[in-house]
Structure formats: structure tokens, C-alpha cells
Structure 1
């Protein structure tokens, strides 16, 4: 408990300064601004409003409870970041999980970094700091990157510098937003991983995307198996040379062979002999893939 008391005492003198109506600091040029801006100050939780630009929309309740237990034992180790709106009124920039957890255990104050920023600066700080500091799900990260592009007009190169990520990494996240909304929800809910999503995105047809997504979930396919499934589908779309030998009794039409390949999710080989006999070869890449094909055959 001693450690908590020490943390709660942090910035008490500066807190009193902020509650003095004669020191209503609104800009970095105001008197005493240098004592407040960028410093850690104990703020009343009720004086802090949630940032409308917050990119995180899902909060795991179990994780929040674990954080709350940690805060009860050790205090808020990492201060939240807020911007000053008006006299004794602040808006959260980053740290909503810490703020929620602190409220849940009845804390009335929380340590905070004070900043003065306009809405655009606040949005950029919120997005960049959340991308850097929190385990947002891949779709939330992608949406944050997209908002930096749309609302702050940052290029991917500029984002790379701001968030410390490779440009190719940012591009991979942004590509996830081209997935069917059902699949994006599946990634957010943890039914499939970002790796699965990156494999599916190579298919333009949204209906085929969702078909493959359903196969991944129902068959518990790995990322590698998903990549193979996507590759087989793509290869099935390529025009193939005639497989029939000269003088065969009949010819298998391309659309018929394509229909078989699409059904089995594999590049099927059909051969017909001159006497009308033939064989259909269905390749598989693993035991799981073999079991999947057997299920299709059994109906």
C-alpha cells in the first residue's frame, strides 16, 4: 500500500495550481504553462472525458480486471496522457484502459501527462500513441492507419517514421481493410489470425473470400493450409491446355473441370483414354486437407 500512496501523491502541488481560477492555462504561452505542460500531475478522474478519436473500440473485460488488480496493488505505473480543454476540464489522448481500470476500483485521481493541442493534433497523438503502446487488434490498427491517411493526410512513409514501423508492415495492415466485413469481424473476434487474412486478401471475389473463411473456421485450417487453398483456387482459374489424348472418346470441357476444381478447392487433373475410361486426380497437401476432401466426397 505504501507504493500506491507515493504514486497518488505525485504532482499534488501542480494539481492545486490547475484548480486555481487565476491560473487557467489555455496555451503554452500562458503564465505557469511551463510548470504544467508535459509534467505528470494527479488529475480528478471526473474532470477527464473520453477522447472521441480513440481508435480502440473493443475492451477485454478480463484483461481490464487484471489491470485493475495490478493498479490496486501497485498504483498507475504509466501515467495517462490528456489535453487541457478548459478550466479543470481535460480530454483523454491515450490510456483509456488505465482510466477505466482506475474507475472500476474507485480511484478518484489518476496520474496524467498534460498537453495542450487542437483537435487534429489530439487525433494524431491518440492514433500514434495507441498504435505504439496498446495491443489493438489488427483491424483496429489498420483503421488507425487509415484515419492517419484520411484525416491527417499522412503518407505511408510519414506514418512509418511516426510509429516506428516499416512501410511494408503498414501496407499489410491497410490491405486487411479490403477483406469482406465478415472476415474483418472474424479477425477482430479472434476466429482467424492476421496471417489468414493476408492469405485471403489475394482473392478479389468477396464471395469466394467468405467461402474460404468459412472453410478455415470449420476446418480449423492453419495459415499454411489457407495459403495452399488460396493458391489452388487461383491456379484453378488459369486456362489449362487440353488434357485429353488424341482420339479420346469424349472431351471434358474446361468449365466442367473448373467446377470440379472449385468444389474440391484443389487443382484437379482429369484424363480420358481413347476407350472412354479415365481418372480424376485430386491432390492434397496434408492429413487435414485429405480429411477435408473426404468430407466433401461423403457429402
Structure 2
């Protein structure tokens, strides 16, 4: 390897690079203007006096924007078997790589590993990729699954309007058209992953359901079938209204994440204060079932305090999706209240109306 100072305008982009778009580099350019370019770019020689960027594409774009005439570059060995790995690690470990770009990076790394080691079982290949970039094999598979979604959904992910968790829920729906409709709606309404999971569960169990019908049913407090079971024909619509059951969040959500964290105590469950999906680290969101009546009382207390202490009003005022979410929450609580009264009557206990 050698260090050269090269004209950033003359550097060529890698046509197979994992980054699709350098994005807005104004902030990076300001930092370079103030402190200088502290980290050299990695390049390879592709011809007499021609160099191609292996990593540091955003730094190059910022340097061009600033009009710098020379920037430090490390010339890498073109035949170095670890070249691609260094490029991927350089990019994947930076926060500005979007989820689709990460998925494409893992595809390239898988291909490189196959070239070096021959055909390997899929699971082993994912584990090797994960080891190389510091992720679990299941996490790698989750990112690869993003590339199976329709292009329009991938665009929402690129723009940050959908996250990996939400995208995983969408994959439970078999119809690409429905995936797109749900993705658009989730993005426009600012739905959380758990809210989207509920909608997806309805569609997974009721393939003929339309988005409008599902939303109307939710707002009306109807209990839609959310798990596999015999179809129940009802006059007046395709909702398959039944008490077959509700979606099991422990299986549908925790199964996406549970290999990345130490095993939780079985008493663990979702905390409204600090364990919501929105407050979890990007790749470590989890949802746990409530496992006892005491835990259910605790959850109800948290909900009540959110209102009494003024948090609810604050959230409503700052959330563009509040009208939909508040209606949904109201219907859910009304349905829960009816259910609690039914349980009390079945036990022969009196309740205040």
C-alpha cells in the first residue's frame, strides 16, 4: 500500500459499490472545511494514472463540493482478497448507509465468500457474513429479505420512511400489491411497527381483505381473525369474524430479534415508558407478551399515568398520525373493557358500570 494525494474530481466511482447515492454531504463538507480530511480514502489503480474509489465515496463527494484539488488516498492491492471486506466494513459501520444498501452489501459479500470457499449452505453463509461485519446470521438474513420486497417498498426503506422491523412484518403478506398498500399507509400515517404488525396479521389470515375494510373493522372494534384456522363464513363481508385467536406477538416479533440479545427473563414484557419499539436501538426492538395479571395491572397503570401526567396530550400534539392512532387506541381500550367485564361476569363477580 502507498499514500498518494490525488485530485478527487479524477477519482472514479466503483460501479458495483454498495452505496447507491452519497446523499447530502453538506454537513460532512463543513466538517472537512473546518478540520481537514483526517481519514484517507481507499482506492485501487484501474489503469495508467486512473484510480477507483473502494471506500470513502462520501468524503470524495464532499471534497469535490469544497473544490479541494488534492486529497489523501491509500492505494490498495487490487488482488487483495480482503479488499471487499474492508469496503463493506467501512460502509456498513457508518450510520449513513441505508438499509437497502446494507442488504446489497451483504449480497456482494456472500458472493465473494462463495468465490473463495465454494458453495456453502445458506445458513452457514449468513453466519460467515455476520461474523465478518459483527452481526448475527439471522440479522443478515433479515436484511437480505428486504430485497425480496417490491421496488416501491424498497424506495420507502431507502428514504427512511419504513424501518427494517416494519419491513419484516410486511413480508408476512404474500401479495406484493397489498405489501405496497400497507407500506404506503404505514409511512403516511407514521404507524409504529407494532401497529403495522396488527394490520399485517389480519391480512396474513384474511388474504381477500382490503385495506379500507380492515381499517373500518378496526375502528368499529371488530375482532378479525389473526391466526391460521378454519374460515368462518359470515353474511355481509369477508372479514372472517371469529374468536380463533389473536396474533402472538412473542412469536411474530421476538422471533425476528431474539438471537441478538441474551435470553430475557420470562417476566420481561413491553414497557410503555422505555421499552417501546420507537425507543429501542435500531436492530434490537423486541415485544414480549404480558404473562400475568399483575403485569397487566402494571401496564394499565402506565397507560393511566401517561394521561394523568400530561404525556398523552404532548404526544397527540406532536404526532401527525394522532387522529388514526387515537381512534385505534380508543377502540382497543373499549374492546378490552368489554372483555374484562365479560370475564368478571363469567366468574360471578360484580363490576361497576
- Note closer, same or farther for the CA distance 1:56–1:168 as it changes in structure 2 (3 Å cut): same
Partner of 1:53: 16
Offset of 1:148 from its aligned partner? 2.3
Partner of 2:168: 198
Matching of residues 107-126 of structure 1 within 5 Å = 107-118=68-79, 122-126=83-87
1:50–1:91 CA contact under 8 A, matched in 2? yes
Offset of 1:128 from its aligned partner? 4.0
Q: Deviations over 1:113-138 (max 9, x none)?
A: 22111498655543343223452111
Unaligned 5+ segments in structure 2 are 116-124, 208-227, 244-323, 333-353
- Note closer, same or farther for the CA distance 1:80–1:292 as it changes in structure 2 (3 Å cut): farther
Secondary structure of 1:153's match? helix
Q: List structure 1 runs of 4+ shifted beyond 6 angstroms.
A: none
**Equivalent of 1:289, from 318, 328, 339?**
328
Partner of 2:27: 66
- Note closer, same or farther for the CA distance 1:260–1:50 as it changes in structure 2 (3 Å cut): same
Secondary structure of 2:239's match? helix
CA distance in 1 between counterparts of 2:170 and 2:4 reads: 47
Secondary structure of 1:260's match? coil
CA distance in 2 between counterparts of 1:45 and 1:286 reads: 49
Partner of 1:161: 131
Offset of 1:177 from its aligned partner? 1.3
Count of residues paired in the alignment: 224
Offset of 1:291 from its aligned partner? 7.8
- Note closer, same or farther for the CA distance 1:79–1:134 as it changes in structure 2 (3 Å cut): farther
CA distance in 2 between counterparts of 1:147 and 1:216 reads: 30
CA distance in 1 between counterparts of 2:33 and 2:194 reads: 43
Q: Are residues 1:75 and 2:36 paired?
A: yes
Q: Are residues 1:90 and 2:129 paired?
A: no
Partner of 2:197: 227
Tell me whether 82-91 or 165-174 shows the greater mean CA deviation: 82-91
With normalisation by structure 2, the TM-score equals: 0.56
- Note closer, same or farther for the CA distance 1:75–1:232 as it changes in structure 2 (3 Å cut): same
Name the structure where strand makes up a greater proportion of residues: 1
Offset of 1:192 from its aligned partner? 1.8
Partner of 1:143: 104
Offset of 1:214 from its aligned partner? 2.8
Secondary structure of 1:49's match? coil
Q: Are residues 1:259 and 2:220 paired?
A: no
Offset of 1:70 from its aligned partner? 0.9
Q: Deviations over 1:205-250 (max 9, x none)?
A: 21221222233134321111001111233344634476xxxxxxxx
1:257–1:268 CA contact under 8 A, matched in 2? no
Partner of 1:127: 88
CA distance in 1 between counterparts of 2:327 and 2:106 reads: 36
Offset of 1:288 from its aligned partner? 4.2
Q: Deviations over 1:150-172 (max 9, x none)?
A: 45527212212221221111111
2:22–2:61 CA contact under 8 A, matched in 1? no
Secondary structure of 2:156's match? helix
Unaligned 5+ segments in structure 1 are 1-36, 243-252, 262-266, 270-284, 294-299
Secondary structure of 2:174's match? coil
Partner of 2:6: 43
1:51–1:93 CA contact under 8 A, matched in 2? yes
CA distance in 1 between counterparts of 2:169 and 2:54 reads: 34
